[in-house]
């Protein structure tokens, strides 16, 4: 990537425990974020506004309040500087539980920070990220991290043996509303997420069952992934509908990727090691 280009890394929730529904409509949760090596690609441009390309770009056409545009406006209001323009190569499906819009906004903040010589650890940058959405602070880091509160109270963790693991993402081609899935959550606190990566692997995604109730095909994706040779860990990410499997080796992942149903989207990648 050039100095004017950033990958908006796909986000995975290795576990996601929803602990409570708060009075303001948000939810208290505990999650372990991990990130893939691939995602959307965002380029900083001299022309103002947002240009869209890529297989999912058309799905954002006419969206005036796109998170990338909001990130640019928030940045100018906080730090000044020239208004930003971007080209977004939208490679990840929309409303798919892998942080697409949040990752795009985070990539915009990283590009603007680089342009203006401001560290992404700067309190002002972190404040913008929090205002843009609960997943944006984690996507700004794009490193494995434990998230608490609304998911934006972060502590970086070491993925240990999972760093660089081959992973296959599969989405059945159905957009799922995050707000609808959270609304369908039954409100039952099923317990704490422990501090380790092993705890996350033994944990759960509390949004999986409400997502299945809204989008039954997710069950087919999970079952298909679990049946693939070498798939050792299978889970839905975020509020769905994207599911993923970690594989023992890249060859087995690639064989599974080649067998994905023609109507489903997939991405063969690896977990980021940093």
Which residues are marked as active site? 11, 135
Cα–Cα distance for residue pair 243/225, rounded to 1 Å: 8
Whether residue 234 contacts residue 221, with contact meaning beta carbons closer than 8 Å, is answered with no
Measured between its terminal Cα atoms, the distance across the chain in Å is 16
Q: What is the CA radius of gyration of the chain?
A: 18
Total number of residues shown for the chain: 274
Q: The tokens 């490679």 sit on which residue?
A: 91
Examine residue 40 and say whether the peptide bond preceding it is cis (omega within 30 degrees of 0). Answer: no
Contacts of 239 (CB under 8 A, 6+ apart): 97, 176, 177, 178, 181, 182, 207, 211
């Amino acid at each position: 990537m050039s100095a004017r280009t950033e990958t908006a890394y796909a986000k995975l929730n290795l576990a996601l425990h929803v602990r409570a529904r708060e009075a303001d409509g948000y939810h208290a949760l505990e999650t372990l974020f991990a990130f893939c090596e691939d995602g959307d690609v965002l380029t900083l441009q001299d022309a103002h506004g947002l240009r869209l390309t890529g297989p999912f770009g058309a799905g954002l056409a006419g969206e005036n309040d796109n998170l990338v545009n909001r990130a640019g406006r928030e940045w100018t209001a906080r730090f000044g500087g020239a208004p930003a323009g971007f080209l977004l190569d939208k490679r990840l499906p929309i409303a798919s539980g892998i942080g697409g819009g949040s990752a795009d906004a985070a990539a915009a903040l990283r590009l603007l920070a680089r342009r203006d010589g401001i560290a992404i650890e700067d309190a002002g940058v972190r404040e913008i990220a929090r205002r843009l959405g609960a997943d944006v602070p984690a996507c700004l880091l794009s490193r494995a991290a434990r998230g608490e509160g609304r998911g934006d109270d972060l502590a970086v963790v070491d993925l240990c043996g999972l760093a660089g693991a081959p992973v296959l993402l599969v989405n059945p081609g159905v957009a799922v509303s995050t707000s609808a899935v959270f609304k369908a959550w039954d409100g039952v606190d099923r317990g704490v997420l422990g501090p380790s990566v092993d705890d996350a692997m033994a944990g759960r995604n509390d949004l999986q069952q409400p997502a299945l109730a809204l989008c039954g095909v997710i069950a087919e994706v999970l079952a298909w992934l679990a049946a693939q040779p070498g798939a050792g860990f299978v889970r839905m990410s975020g509020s769905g509908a994207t599911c993923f499997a970690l594989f023992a080796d890249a060859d087995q992942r690639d064989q599974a990727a080649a067998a994905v149903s023609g109507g489903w989207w997939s991405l063969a990648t690896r977990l980021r090691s940093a």
